[in-house]
Amino acid sequence: MDQSGMKQQLKDMHQIVRLVDPELMSYLEARDSANFYFCFRWLLVRFKRELSYANTLR
């Protein structure tokens, strides 16, 4: 109910992007998008299993 799982996934996404692509992270931070809320639907689809895991990755 408190969306703690989703919040953790967004934090994890933030950490991964910071490590893998610091230039992208800088871009997102400069545009006030480092909260990764734009990924909310992607993660929600993954949690709800609306798609298979392979389709989610694709």
The reply to whether the predicted model has a pTM over 0.95 is no
Q: How much is the pLDDT for 4?
A: 84
Does residue 51 surpass a pLDDT of 80?
A: no
**Which tens digit of pLDDT belongs to each residue from 5-47?**
778 888 998 999 999 999 999 999 999 988 888 888 877 776 6
Instruction: Read off the tokens for 27.
Output: 């871009």
Q: How much is the pLDDT for 30?
A: 95
Domain that holds residue 31: 4-57
- Taking the C-alpha atoms of residue 31 and residue 21, their distance in angstroms, rounded to an integer, is 16
Contact 45, 56 (CB under 8 A): yes
More reliable by pLDDT, 33 or 58: 33
What is the count of structural domains for the chain?
1
Q: How much is the pLDDT for 20?
A: 96
